[in-house]
Amino acid sequence: MTMTSTNQAAANGRRALPIGLIGLGIMGGEMAEALLRSGHPVIGFDPDPQAAARLARAGGQVAAGAEQVARAAEVVIVSLATSPALMATVQALASAREPHTAGRQVVVETSTLPLADKEAAEAICEAAGIVLLDCPISGTAARMKDRAWTVYCSGPSDAIREVKALLQVFTDNVPDVGEFGNGTRMKFAANHLVAIYNVACAESMTLVRKLGLDPQQVLDLFGPSAVIGTGVMRLRSPFMIARDYLPATMKVEVWQKDMQVIGDMAKAVDCPTPLFSACVPLYTAAMAQGLAQHDTASVHEVLGQMAGLPPRDAA
C-alpha cells in the first residue's frame, strides 16, 4: 500500500496500514509522535524500554522486534545511532520479507552513518526486494516543531515520490538530491559546517564574557542578523548563556561519531579541512570534562576554562 492508498483507506474508513519506525531515540521518538499526531498509525521498535514506553504513551504500537515491524508496515523509517544497529535491522527486515510478496517495501534510512555501511545495507535490501532510501536529516529534534528540518532524500526517484507526503509530516524541506548516497554526502557537508559554527559561536560567547558584555543582549542583536546570525547561533547560544546544557539537542558523545565519520570521508576524497580539524580537540575535551551526555554547546565550557572564566557552579 503506497502513501496515496494509505490516505485513501483512511478517507474510506478502512484501517490504514501502520508506518513502521525502528529506532525510537531522540529523533525517532519525535518522528513517531509527529506521525501519530497527524493521524498515521505507527508500529515501532527500540530495545530501550524507556523509548518503547514513550511510543506506547503516545498511542503507538510497540513491536517485539524489527521483524514484526517489517511484517506490519510497507513503509519503514529507520533512525539508528550505529552501523551495527543498521546492519542488524536490515538483516531482520530482509529475513521477514516473504517470498513473492505483493507490492514493495520502502525503507527510509535517516541515520548519519558511514556511506560504505549504508551501501552494504542497500545491497542486503535489494537482494530481498526492499527499496532502501538514503535520507539523513539536518536538524535537531527540537527544530522539528519549527518545521526546520531538511531531509536529504536520495535513491530511486519513484520511491522518493511515494514517501514524500509522509516525510512532509515533519518538514516541507524534502529535496530529492539524486542517486543513493547523495543524501549522506549532503549531510556530511551540512554537519561539517555545524561543527565549525558551533565552536565559532562558543568562542564568540567566551569573548563576549571576557569583554564584560551581556551575552543575552549580544544574542538579541546578532541572532536575527542576516549577515552574522545563523540557526546554530540561535539554537545553541541560549545553552551557553545559561551555561546549562541539558536536555541536549545533540549529545556530545553522539556528535563524536558524526565528527569521526565526516573526518574519514574528507580523508577518503583528499579534502583538507583545517577549520573542522581544529574543532575536534574541543569536542574531545568536552567528553573528558564529563559532558558526554550534554549538548554540543558545552564546548563553551571548554573554551571558558581555557580563558580563565569561573566554573559554572561558581558563576
From 10-19, 241-250, 266-275, the region with the lowest mean pLDDT: 10-19
Is the predicted pLDDT of residue 73 greater than 80, yes or no? yes
Residue 312 included in any domain: no
Per-residue confidence (pLDDT) for residue 39, from 0 to 100:
95
Residue 313 included in any domain: no
Looking up cell 553522539 gives: 254
Residue 151, H or E segment? strand 150-151
From 15-24, 100-109, 278-287, 301-310, the region with the lowest mean pLDDT: 100-109
Cα separation, 104 vs 135, whole angstroms = 18
Please report, for the domain that includes residue 153, its CATH number: 3.40.50.720
Is the predicted pLDDT of residue 2 greater than 90, yes or no? no
Per-residue confidence (pLDDT) for residue 1, from 0 to 100:
41
Q: What is the arithmetic mean of pLDDT over 232-247? A: 96
209 & 158 share domain: no
How many domains does the chain contain in total? 2
Residue 234 included in any domain: yes
20 & 109 share domain: yes
Cα separation, 154 vs 13, whole angstroms = 33
149 & 195 share domain: no
The confidence band for 13, taking pLDDT boundaries of 50, 70 and 90, is very low
Nearest to 71 by CA among 143, 24, 20: 20
8 & 148 share domain: yes
Q: Is the dihedral of CA 132, 153, 223, 206 positive or negative?
A: positive
The confidence band for 173, taking pLDDT boundaries of 50, 70 and 90, is very high
188 & 84 share domain: no
Burial of residue 115 (CB within 10 Å: 0-12, 13-18, 19+) is buried
| Residue ranges making up the domain that contains 255 | 184-307
Per-residue confidence (pLDDT) for residue 140, from 0 to 100:
79
Is the predicted pLDDT of residue 14 greater than 70, yes or no? no
Cβ–Cβ < 8 Å for 69, 76 = yes
26 & 135 share domain: yes
Model pLDDT for residues 97-155, shown as the tens digit of each residue:
876 555 689 999 999 999 999 999 999 999 999 999 999 999 877 777 788 899 999 99
Q: What is the arithmetic mean of pLDDT over 266-277? A: 97
